[in-house]
Amino acid sequence: MARKVRVLIAKPGLDGHDRGAKVVANALKDAGMEVIYTGLHQTPEMIAESAVQEDVDVVGLSILSGAHMTMFPRVLGLLREKGAADMLVFGGGIIPAEDVEELEKLGVARIFGPGTDTGDIVSFIRDRFPAN
Amino acid sequence: MNRRGDIGALLERFGRGEVAAAARLISVLEDGGDEAERVLDAIFPGTGGAWRIGFTGPPGAGKSSLVHRVTGRMRARGHRIGIIAVDPTSPFTGGALLGDRIRMQSLSADPEVFVRSLASRGSLGGISNCTDETADLLDAFGKDIVLIETVGVGQSELEIAEKAHTVVVVLVPESGDGIQAMKAGLMEIGDVFVMNKADHEQAVGAAAELEETLRLKDVPDGAWVPRVVLASAREDTGIEDLVAVMVEHRRHLEERGLMEKMRRRILRARVRNAIMDRMERRLRESPSVRAVLERRMEAVYRGEASPYRVVRELEELVTIR
């Protein structure tokens, strides 16, 4: 059977707006991927544990609260600790340009800002998992 | 060696109890093929210990929320839990949105609970083709209870009965017509019926009606009599009762030696299905079978040979000693 790309879409922290996360989750599903959506208010620990148990290829974090500089490094660190350093982590939300640069240095593969075409996110993942 | 990593190394890490290795092995099982079989061969001796419980019922009845509540109670009793949550794959795109974790959020913080979302992929029955294998893996990983949550449509209720020792059917007062349509199958396979959303004004009446319908069925002496429990996953009420009845069902099976009987029946069906799948694939992929089909279909089109005549000719090619 052909491999399927599995993606975890998570909302860390306190902000309660998950429309963006849901739009992305739907777009990836429509692109033929298996998308696990965790719902709101996830701690980095919950996100990393879910990503590991679900054995996803990709983790997408949506953050609108401004907590990105703590959330992303925490999730990346926990994934490494749990033996899942090979997972591709990307993000979306309102994140200033200087932080984007910093996050990409830390190992976040890409940050998608407001107004991103979902097609760009699909091709971003497809480029890295061409078999699917 | 594949993208999942070396199977031998994964199995070794699995043996040491590493969650990431167990998770990756489930992906190997889902991918199927020789590597999946190698994994199953290796882990199978470690299976057989887990109590497999199916949760089925119409969409929106609250299966995920109940699984979440029941898991909390079972954890308090010291059980180690594996959960398999199946959601549908789109037949058009092959994609799937797996959302059962939304209702099981607090479980992600408990390392003794392993939740795996499976997409139904090619299966029509409301559970993934890989459900048994994933349950095996969680079983061998040391989970003593494996909860399997079905999609809730199609024939899931019937398929789950072939995989679980205890089947919990989740219903809600307002699902009325939906239940009517599913009734025949559901009524026959449920060991425990939960009328969820017990805070609903019609819940008590609906539960009584359900009880009455169940009593119409002849139950042989000494056999398990299906039970109805009123509960509310949202309000967290009735869950103790539900767990108590589930435990009672298990004890009923064990005291009468039925657990072992059921285990054997389930395994026999699995072996039979696996043989059929393998034989079908071999026939489909066999060049000589294809050649005969290619050659003889013309005769069938012209009405000179009946379909069964071609079957007999094919049978001569196949030797089953």
Task: Quote the CA–CA distance of B261 and B64 in Å, as a whole number.
Answer: 29
Q: Do B109 and B204 share a domain, yes or no?
A: yes
B186 plus B103 within the same structural domain:
yes
The answer, for A26 touching chain B at a CB cutoff of 8 Å, is yes
Q: Is ipTM beyond 0.85?
A: yes
Residues B31 and B52 in one domain: no
* Residue at B304 is within a domain: no
Q: Give me the tens of pLDDT residue by residue for chain B, a chain 321 residues long.
A: 345 679 999 999 999 999 999 999 999 999 888 999 999 999 999 999 999 999 998 888 899 999 999 999 999 999 999 999 998 888 889 999 998 898 888 887 888 999 999 998 876 555 677 899 999 999 999 999 999 998 876 555 678 888 999 999 998 887 665 555 556 677 788 999 999 988 888 888 888 888 888 888 788 888 999 999 999 999 999 999 999 999 999 999 999 999 999 999 999 999 998 899 888 888 888 898 899 888 999 999 999 999 999 999 888 887 777
Is residue B285 assigned to a domain?
no
Residues B11 and B150 in one domain: no
Residues B52 and B23 reside in one and the same domain? no
End of a domain among B210, B234, B256? B256
- Pick the last residue of a domain from B236, B256, B276: B256
Contact B26 A38 (CB under 8 A): no
Interface test with B, best of A34, A38, A47 (most B CBs within 10 A): A34
User: What is the nearest CA distance from B67 to chain A, expressed in angstroms?
Assistant: 16
What is the helix (H) or strand (E) element at residue B53, kind and residue range?
strand B51-56
Q: Are residues B88 and B111 in the same domain?
A: yes
- Are B3 and B52 found together in one domain? no
User: Do B111 and B11 sit in the same domain of this protein?
Assistant: no
Domain enclosing residue B61, as ranges: 47-256
Kindly report the CATH number assigned to the domain that includes residue B205: 3.40.50.300
Domain A9-126 falls under CATH 3.10.20.70: no
Q: Tell me, yes or no, whether B88 and B8 share the same domain.
A: no
Give the residue from B232, B256, B280 where a domain finishes: B256
B15 and B156 assigned to the same domain: no
Residue B108 falls within a domain, yes or no? Answer: yes
Q: What does the alpha-carbon distance between residue B184 and residue B188 come to, in Å, rounded to a whole number? A: 7
B166 in a structural domain: yes
- Total domains present in chain B: 2
- Where would I find the beta strands (DSSP E) of chain A? 6-10, 34-37, 58-63, 88-93, 110-112
- When CB atoms are compared, the residue of A26, A43, A49 closest to B97 is A26
How many Å apart are CA B246 and CA B166, to the nearest integer?
A: 7
